[in-house]
Amino acid sequence: AIRERAFDYLLKPFDLSDLVNLTKEALAYTREKGNGSFNKSSKNVKIEHQLELGEIIGSSPAMQEVYKKIAKVSRTDCTVLIQGESGTGKELIARAIHFNSKRKDKPWIPINCGAIPGELLESELFGHEKGAFTHAFRSRPGRFELAHKGTIFLDEIGEMPLALQVKLLRVIQERSFERVGGLKTIKVNIRIIAATNTDLESLVKKGGFREDLFYRLNVVPIEVPPLRDRLEDLEPLIVHFLTYFCKSRDLPVKEVSPEVMNCFYEYNWPGNVRELENLIERLVILVEGDEIKLEDLPPRFKSRKELLPGDLPAEFPSTGISLKAEVEKYETQLIFKALKKANGVKSEAARLLGINRTTLLEKLRRRGIPLSSI
């Protein structure tokens, strides 16, 4: 809906007061836009997100904190370090910062430091002069030069070789460097945003990352939460990807069965939003009907055992767990079971769970579960 220029949306069940307030905000925005006086630095982070960060889906408390930081750092040129697991959308966050900043009309230059061999990465970043090495038949600018007056995004910064980290440190401090094989000092005006899926502080302790560089990069850290820690965003993400992939293939928009939705809420999503996106695209292509059913899911979903008290693994995982996420998943599972037992009657399901109906509706709303999916 946001991509189609909707002002905002409400998840069912919603309060009448929310509808009234949102309508007032929409009218106020329309008036301001008509007068040409809309202020992009508005303190209303939710509206700013919906209008300008449409590619980022999610309204959970965890994502609201991310939006607040995006709004703040976009107004400055500070160096930003985005941290989060693989597939959480770190590049989307970096793009949102750039395209909401005063540099938005200037170059946006991304580079994945882990995807380029170390011996080639130096030339990619800093450029080279003719004859600097074998097959260097002409001079070539690097990513830092190409990003002049704009933003360079250094993805997977933890994979950068130590020798290059020294040169990067100088660029951050002095905004200057020399091309490979060159003597001329090149000055650049750039903003630097870096991202990593590793714990850089631990890497510093192990000697794999320079401590001084870490502190230079970590001016404003932004932590992107894993999908399992923001389950409230799961259904909006599913709806978004279903709509996008179905429309891009001229197919009727498919729906997800309640059983599949329950399974998705129980799943841990190790690949985060990227895993969900790839799964939905595959299901859109392969599923013939209008509804995605349990039998359509890959084996990793079908083979999952329900984690009930007493069924915990004998050994605690060495990587640890998110207690909040595990409790959330177990509670979601119980809610679905109670609703199934009560044939979808919310008051009866609430009685079975030992809570009142209002509390049950709030738990459903917080998870972004519309009543139509039950």
Q: Hey, what's the torsion of the CAs at 230, 235, 236, 238, to 10 degrees?
A: 110
Task: List, as own/partner pairs, every contact residues 209-217 make where C-beta atoms lie below 8 angstroms and the sequence separation is at least 24, other chains included.
Answer: 209/158, 209/162, 209/165, 210/162, 210/165, 210/166, 210/169, 212/169, 213/165, 213/168, 213/169, 213/172, 216/79, 216/169, 216/172, 216/173, 217/79, 217/81, 217/157, 217/172, 217/192
Same domain, yes or no: 196 and 332: no
pLDDT in tens, 103-141: 999 999 999 999 998 878 998 999 888 877 777 778 889
Global pTM exceeds 0.85: no
Q: For the domain that residue 359 is a member of, what is the CATH number? A: 1.10.10
pLDDT in tens, 89-98: 999 999 999 9
Q: In the structure encoding, which two tokens stand for residue 306, read together?
A: 């329900």
* Residue 246 domain-assigned (yes or no): yes
Average pLDDT over residues 262-272: 90
pLDDT in tens, 20-63: 666 765 665 555 444 433 333 333 344 333 334 456 888 888 89
Same domain, yes or no: 105 and 149: yes
Specify the pLDDT at position 190. 96
Same domain, yes or no: 66 and 181: yes
* Residue 35 domain-assigned (yes or no): no
* Residue 42 domain-assigned (yes or no): no
* Residue 220 domain-assigned (yes or no): yes
Please state whether 31 falls in left (phi above 0), alpha (psi between -120 and 50) or beta. alpha
How many folded domains does the chain comprise? Answer: 3
How much is the mean pLDDT over the chain? Answer: 82
- How far, in whole angstroms, is CA 62 from its chain's centroid? 11
Domain end, chosen from 225, 255, 289, is at 225
Q: At what angle do helices 323-341 and 346-353 cross, to 10 degrees?
A: 130
Q: For the domain that residue 259 is a member of, what is the CATH number? A: 1.10.8.60
Domain boundaries, position 341? 323-367
Specify the pLDDT at position 44. 35
C-alpha to C-alpha distance for 9 and 47, rounded to whole angstroms = 11
Domain end, chosen from 204, 225, 246, is at 225
Q: Higher-confidence residue: 15 or 121?
A: 121
* Residue 43 domain-assigned (yes or no): no
Same domain, yes or no: 252 and 279: yes
Same domain, yes or no: 123 and 215: yes
What confidence tier does 333 reach under pLDDT thresholds 50, 70, 90?
confident
* Residue 27 domain-assigned (yes or no): no
Domain end, chosen from 171, 193, 225, is at 225
Specify the pLDDT at position 330. 78
Q: What are phi and psi of 83, to 5 degrees?
A: -120, 140
